[in-house]
Structure 1
Amino acid sequence: MIERKALSTILELAEGYPFVALTGPRQAGKTTLSRMAFPDKPYVSLEDPDFREFAVSDPRRFLARYPDGAIFDEVQRVPELFSYLQTVADLDGRMGRYILTGSQHFGLLAGITQSLAGRVGMVQLLPFSSGELLAAGQLPEALDALLYKGSYPPLYDRPLAPIQWYAGYVTTYLERDVRQLIHVRDLAVFQRFIRLSAARTGQLLNLSSLANDCGISHNTARAWISILEASYILFLLPPHHRNFNKRLVKTPKLYFYDAGLAAWLLGVQNADQLSIHPQRGALFETWVIGELLKGRYNRALPSNLFFWRDNTGNEVDVIIDQGLKLISIEIKSGHTINADYFSSLRKWLSWAGAEAGDPYLIYGGDERQERRNVKVTPWREVMGIAEVF
């Protein structure tokens, strides 16, 4: 079993909060991790109709069955339970009593903010990080193989082909979650929307273009993007506000959490196709930013990632806001370092001046270098950056 970086974080939070909430996409390993961290706690899946009906119809009696706490999986399915959990926890006072998991972030967060605010330590668990795979000896040797395969745990726990697993994942989990959250009249249109969104990973979000290409309204496109955010399929990377006397874009960029899922949605059939695929650079950028997010989320920290772009097209792929310093990162998928890779960083550093921290270039090659104070980092070592910032 691959050890998760978030394990120590969860155990630490359980010392200081009566509840620990673990959220993230389906099949990211939330149930496995929570049961590993708390092997003595009873496990209850509220996806089970019998348990769910019991919790809804008689929540006091339901909770009385677990006087020493429990792991409640997919707890957002029973929002009525949150108020009763608050009462029970406040009367008892024990820390780490209940472990709550959920794969729909908005539903879980709504229950927590309404009833359990200040009582919950939260961890967002994404699929495996490259550091976790490397420690377990399961990180693919080739970058294209990693981008094609992605990072979802079932692809590393079982002999499954990515092209088959992702097809089942989208049908079995994603489309079911969508039906729970909103009424989609034509599922085929929603499927096309997801695929067109994958084609835009790494690009500025243009809801009008996305809506027009799908034949839906602007408001529907906005709602569907929110659903995909709630299900941890994609996220929006905001632009950094520091302008340095430049006019900045205010539109976020769209990214998928998992490059393998995005590659499948783009119709990639095998890893060999990626070497000449026009979206290879965008998929690599998607993967790197996902790794940086995992580094934050595994430590129960919010994202401090941004991008920077002015209205003339000058852009830095990632800005890590450290408060007093801004860490700039440029991402290039090529195996060979090109002098042009540094041009955007040079411009940004000249504008940022004393506010600029150490700049990084993450690329698709294998050699670590330092060029004129830019730390050139190979793709295999990206977690060294993610776990520091």
Structure 2
Amino acid sequence: MEYIRRAIEGIIRKSDATFKCILVTGARQTGKSTMLKHIFSDRGYVSLDDPFVEDQARQNANVFIALNPPPVIYDEVQRAPDLFRHVKIKCDESESRGLFCLSGSQPFELMKNVSESLAGRVSIIELSGLSLREIVHDAFDERFLPTVEYVEKRNRTAKPVENIWKIIHRGSFPELQNEEVDWSIFYSSYVKSYLERDVRQLSAVQNLDDFRRFMIAAAARTGQMLNYSNIANEIGKDLTTIRNWISILEASGIVYLLEPFSNSVLKRAIKTPKLYFRDTGLASYLTRWLTPETLAMGAMGGSMLETFVVSEVLKSYSNAGMDYRYCVSYYRGKDNGSESEIDLIIEENGILHPIEIKMNSSATADQTSAFRVLDKIQDKKRGMGALVCSCPQPGMLRDNVMLLPYWFI
């Protein structure tokens, strides 16, 4: 299969030229190894996925580095925790940049080792699954923001995407862009590998079948406010277990928890995070929506589309080298006695950009009436908002609300 250019490549090259060590994290199968070998094709590459190599790195990290000297790529480095300390020593001994490129598919373990050994010496980069831009080979690389300036720039390269539900259902893993790869077989293997290799190492889960049932229950709630009790009751586990297991999904890059917007003025705002699967293909597989057509027409169509749009927004930020965790949120609460919700709020420079996500193309201004709740906040300004839907082209819904198609993100 032809290599798919990744939007984050420029950030990685820049970081490599600036830091002695870079660390690329991300969920299993997001394409970390392929991308790094493509970018740094002239460097040595060693994967600790090989048990023999892992044993070498564990037994004598000094000798391992001597046999595989920088500049070099070490893949699946979380398998040899002591290696980080020796990488630090080598970095401190040299004035050169771009010595070590580390990667791995267990972000929790990686971050733990980095904080203990490489703090301040490493550039940490998150690689997500493929974005829609990458799938359709659109080189546009700016973060999404519903402004006139963004739309003017996006207009130059954006093209309508006719098969959006096929893309949502197929998922964002690079390997699945090869049409010959069977969707069901891929995800069956993915879940099995994730349970046996990642979950076992991250937590003392006694019964992997219980965790599999938990994953299915969580996938059925993507795009919803996280209700631990509801999941606990469904699979017959206690609240503490469910909280721990959600943390495992989050730490391993399977889900993202979107925090609620918080401001003292909005006293009746709900303070529960929303749960989003990072890959809509995996969520579709776990909830047994076996075709794009049934997914689009089924009960989870709306929540799956919202999951896809939120994921695309987050990817646009991480691919631009920006930490989205402090600038995106959602709102749900009571405004003048009635419940209102804003699917996504992006905050930049004290300006709040509200976003509503709808499946259909017949959008109305009333669908964005909840945006007005942000006007109550005195120390921040409500900026341009957007209603993202299946409209054929961008336009204005009202003076401060845009109408944007999914493929404009």
TM-score interval, smaller chain: over 0.9
Residue of 333, 347, 368 corresponding to 1:310? 333
Instruction: Find the counterpart in structure 1 of residue 376 from structure 2.
Output: 351
Instruction: Find the counterpart in structure 2 of residue 59 from structure 1.
Output: 61
Q: TM-score normalized by structure 2?
A: 0.89
- 1:71-116 Cα distance to aligned partner (Å, 9 max, x none): 1111111111111111111011211110010111110011111110
Amino acid at match of 2:353: I
Instruction: Find the counterpart in structure 2 of residue 28 from structure 1.
Output: 30
Residue of 68, 76, 89 corresponding to 2:70? 68
**Quick check: 1:218 aligned with 2:239?**
yes
Instruction: Find the counterpart in structure 1 of residue 351 from structure 2.
Output: 325
* Partner Cα separation in structure 1 for residue 55 and residue 279 of structure 2: 34
- 1:304-327 Cα distance to aligned partner (Å, 9 max, x none): 211122256321111112132111
Instruction: Find the counterpart in structure 2 of residue 100 from structure 1.
Output: 102
Aligned to 1:173, the other structure's residue is in SS state helix
- 1:130-181 Cα distance to aligned partner (Å, 9 max, x none): 1111226999622221221111101113512323321221112344211122
Instruction: Find the counterpart in structure 2 of residue 77 from structure 1.
Output: 79
Residue of 151, 156, 171 corresponding to 1:150? 171
Residue of 257, 262, 268 corresponding to 1:241? 262
- 1:285/1:165 CA distance change after superposition, 3 Å: same
* Partner Cα separation in structure 2 for residue 173 and residue 216 of structure 1: 21
Amino acid at match of 2:18: G
Q: 1:366–1:379: 8 Å Cα contact kept in structure 2?
A: no
- 1:212-258 Cα distance to aligned partner (Å, 9 max, x none): 21111111111111111121110111112124343221111110001
Q: Which moved more, 1:363-372 or 1:351-360?
A: 351-360
Amino acid at match of 2:369: S
**How far has the Cα of 1:70 moved from its partner?**
1.2
* Partner Cα separation in structure 1 for residue 25 and residue 226 of structure 2: 25
- 1:199/1:363 CA distance change after superposition, 3 Å: same
Instruction: Find the counterpart in structure 1 of residue 144 from structure 2.
Output: none
- 1:381/1:136 CA distance change after superposition, 3 Å: closer
Amino acid at match of 1:201: T
- Structure 1 runs not aligned, ≥5 long: 383-389
Aligned to 2:391, the other structure's residue is in SS state coil
**How far has the Cα of 1:19 moved from its partner?**
0.8
Q: 2:195–2:208: 8 Å Cα contact kept in structure 1?
A: no
Instruction: Find the counterpart in structure 1 of residue 190 from structure 2.
Output: 169
Q: TM-score normalized by structure 1?
A: 0.93
**How far has the Cα of 1:300 moved from its partner?**
2.2
Instruction: Find the counterpart in structure 1 of residue 229 from structure 2.
Output: 208
State the identity %.
36
Instruction: Find the counterpart in structure 2 of residue 87 from structure 1.
Output: 89
* Partner Cα separation in structure 2 for residue 88 and residue 62 of structure 1: 12
Amino acid at match of 1:343: S
Amino acid at match of 2:218: S
How is 1:264-275 mapped onto 2 (pairs within 5 angstroms)? 264-275=285-296
Residue of 375, 378, 382 corresponding to 2:405? 378
Q: 2:21–2:99: 8 Å Cα contact kept in structure 1?
A: yes
Aligned to 1:330, the other structure's residue is in SS state strand
Residue of 336, 353, 363 corresponding to 1:337? 363
Q: Which moved more, 1:99-108 or 1:62-71?
A: 62-71
Amino acid at match of 2:59: S
- 1:207/1:145 CA distance change after superposition, 3 Å: same
* Partner Cα separation in structure 2 for residue 275 and residue 250 of structure 1: 30
Q: 2:391–2:403: 8 Å Cα contact kept in structure 1?
A: no
**How far has the Cα of 1:186 moved from its partner?**
2.0
Aligned to 2:136, the other structure's residue is in SS state helix
* Partner Cα separation in structure 2 for residue 352 and residue 174 of structure 1: 45
Q: Which moved more, 1:12-21 or 1:352-361?
A: 352-361
**How far has the Cα of 1:328 moved from its partner?**
1.0
Aligned to 1:310, the other structure's residue is in SS state strand
Aligned to 1:255, the other structure's residue is in SS state strand
* Partner Cα separation in structure 1 for residue 160 and residue 365 of structure 2: 29
